[in-house]
Amino acid sequence: MKSHLLHISVANEIEPVVRGLGQFLKDKACGGNLQIPLFLEKDRSRQTQICKVDLLVLGSDGAKVIVEIEESGFSPTKICGKFLTSALAKHFIHDSIPEPVELGDRVMFVQVLDQSKFPKIGTQKIEQSKRIEGIIQNIVLHGWSSIKKYNLFLVDGHKDTVKLKAVAEAVSQFLA
């Protein structure tokens, strides 16, 4: 299996801050043992499954935090697509939980990109990422989705402890 060091590092930073605040679910790339599918409806089917996410925090009133981690492939289409598919989702459904879990009224969506993998010469990816983050934050303000908070974090690989701690702190503040 391919090693996903950034996925594991992000999960390891976030897990302690959500302890006691909700159930923390990790996909296999993040060191967990399950897939985390989101669905358009309460009905579990291939027609209603819209995406799978890397990390999910479940609270007493539904899903609270969705995390997507990108170690490669930084096209705007991929960044926006991961946000949009999660924004369209209404439920998390899994065999380990007896009933479908609705996305809460107030969900945070976090994207973490490994900027150390950006092209080194002439790249505009950092500026492009900041602009995309601002536009998505504007979309979130309109309130058409359960997602009420969006953050995009650029980290310099899995050993960037300062920026990884910032990711965990943002999740902690949102859940407080």
Averaged pLDDT for residues 126-130: 88
Q: Please say whether the beta carbons of 95 and 33 come within 8 A.
A: no
Q: Tokens representing 136?
A: 């998505």
Query: How is residue 15 written in tokens?
Result: 């897990």
Segment (H or E) for 45: none
Number of domains within the chain: 1
CATH number at residue 33: 3.40.1350
Share of the chain above pLDDT 90, in %: 75
Boundaries of domain holding 58:
5-175
pLDDT of residue 2: 65
- Specify the pTM: 0.93
Chain centroid offset of residue 134 CA = 17
DSSP H or E stretch at residue 160: none
Question: Nearest to residue 116, comparing CAs of 78, 167, 153, 81?
Answer: 153
For residue 99, which amino acid is it? E
